[in-house]
Amino acid sequence: MKAVILAGGLGTRISEETHLKPKPMVEIGGKPILWHIMKIYSSHGINDFIICLGYKGYLIKEYFANYFLHMSDVTFDMKTNSMEVHQQHAEPWRVTLVETGEATMTGGRLKRVSPYLDGEEAFCFTYGDGVSDVNIRELVDFHKGHGGLATLTATYPPARFGALDIQSDQRITSFKEKPKGDGGMINGGFFVLSPKVVDFIDGDSTPWEHAPLETLATLGKLFAYEHTGFWQPMDTLRDKHLLEDLWASGKAPWRIWE
């Protein structure tokens, strides 16, 4: 099974990092968040990836072109102009990098990679800026069982702000982190889709989250896989620091491959 990952956006809300690199290349624990997402899929047996490139996509190409250099010890012999790679380590990944345009919307990017999905019964699809401990195998099985064209992972937004009870004299009588799930469930990405969904995308200017998903919902072809575990996007620098702290603690919930 293949997994398509969106990796072409500008990431303007985390511009402190993305003025130099595409958002999926922002590092958590010394590895791009894109690597973390791919490791999540790989831990569930999905190792064939299609990456939708856009903004500064060449940096993603260079990362995978030099993957051994990133993951292994290397000796450079300047006299003989040679390189020796020690303790070679790499995941069993097949990675197809597709230029889908800098200004293309999310739906347009998916439509552009559709030729690489020929012959697939279903495929995974997600954003290149969020991690989760979602069970991909169960998600895929759920999709295959309902007979629809699309499944999205429904989750609760993470807590972001402290909730205060403030009295008339401005005294705070209680403080607690905004509870998880205080509102409705949201689109957490981690889709499983039939290639037929591409027919609902007009072109480059179509956001996946608007007309395509709305139409699929109206037709009764869109289903929700409810995930109540960990899910965290990296929208802001605050989110990045949160993910960094979780990784450094050794208790990152999405690190399900070890």
Q: What is the DSSP string of 91-116?
A: -S-EEEEEE--SS--HHHHHHHTGGG
Residues 94-109: tens digit of each pLDDT: 999 999 999 999 999 9
- Read off the pTM: 0.88
Packing angle of the helix pair 33-43, 136-146 (nearest 10 deg): 60
Q: How confident is the model at residue 165 (pLDDT cuts 50, 70, 90)?
A: low
Distance CA 27, CA 109 (A): 23
pLDDT over 70 at 167, yes or no: no
pLDDT over 60 at 163, yes or no: no
pLDDT at position 67 is: 86
Q: Which of 26, 40, 35, 20 is nearest to 241 (CA)?
A: 26
Amino acid at 221: K
